[in-house]
Amino acid sequence: MLQIKTVKLNDGVEIPVYGFGTFQIPADGSTYKAVRTALELGIRHIDTAVAYFNEQEVGKAIQESGIPREEIFLTSKLWLQDYGYEPAKKGIEASLRKLGLDYIDLYLIHQPYGDVPGAWKAMEEAKGEGKIRSIGVSNMTPKIWNQFIPQFDTLPSVNQVEFNPYYQQKEIREIMAKSDVKLEAWGPLGQGNKNMLNDPVIKEIAETHNKNAGQVILRFEYQEGAIIFPKSTNTERIKSNMDIFDFALTDNEMNKMRNLDTGKGCHNPDAPGVAEFLINAFDVHAND
């Protein structure tokens, strides 16, 4: 079985560089099945969130996998409905309860708006109590980073952002590198971006290595130092996405991929009205 390597976060916690994402996989048995499949194929890093409404199935899949809990790295995320110190404390407990687990390996500020410092304080405390092993942020642009990070007592271990060959996040990566904050890539395949999957540069590199476009994209991100967790509910696609460790892109190929950057993604956290839209998007406690 494939042994996926780990990297050390700035707090000393080891995280597998390749994982499995569960965004938009419904909690109708599909999430449970997909996570069990990923674990059976050798993946040991699972990414979920309160706002994915599938923590329960993720936790059940982990518990029933037969794999020792300490061998699985689990990420979840706090939704902005629970920001502020006291609400975040309750939100963390709700996540642990839904997951049915004693601890979460990585817990993130999902959307960086509102009382982020209060939520961060609660996350720091939960880390101190052993309920969370590592804490991080998500969707932080340079502007948002400079607004909140100076208010934190401890630095995040990761910033999970949209990242793919068409949107390479150069500015925030430079800021993060100074504090050894790792980048986690959401939407590593551009959320099925057909233009990117059919890009002539990517297709040419893929043909050279006898790989498909998706594998070249994921390999590029991996070689750039991103932690990646593509998602699929299709077993063959999950296997195919993992098949990126038996080849490497040359320096020339990496530079060609870097030149594909457009500087724009599908989500702009700095856009006006985003915070208001997200806070009213849904109620994460509707079924509690």
Q: Which of 52, 83, 107, 167 is catalytic?
A: 52
Find all residues with CB under 8 Å of 202, minimum gap 6, and list them: 165, 196, 213, 216, 217, 257, 260
Find all residues with CB under 8 Å of 269, minimum gap 6, and list them: 111, 112, 139, 140, 141, 144
Pairing of strands 6-8, 14-16: antiparallel
Q: Is 52 designated active site? A: yes
H or E stretch covering 149:
none
CA quadruple 146, 21, 30, 74: dihedral positive or negative? negative
Residue 250 CA to residue 258 CA, distance in Å, equals 12
**CA distances for 45 relative to 15, 18, 21, 59, 145, angstroms:** 8, 7, 9, 13, 26
Q: Which residues are catalytic?
A: 52
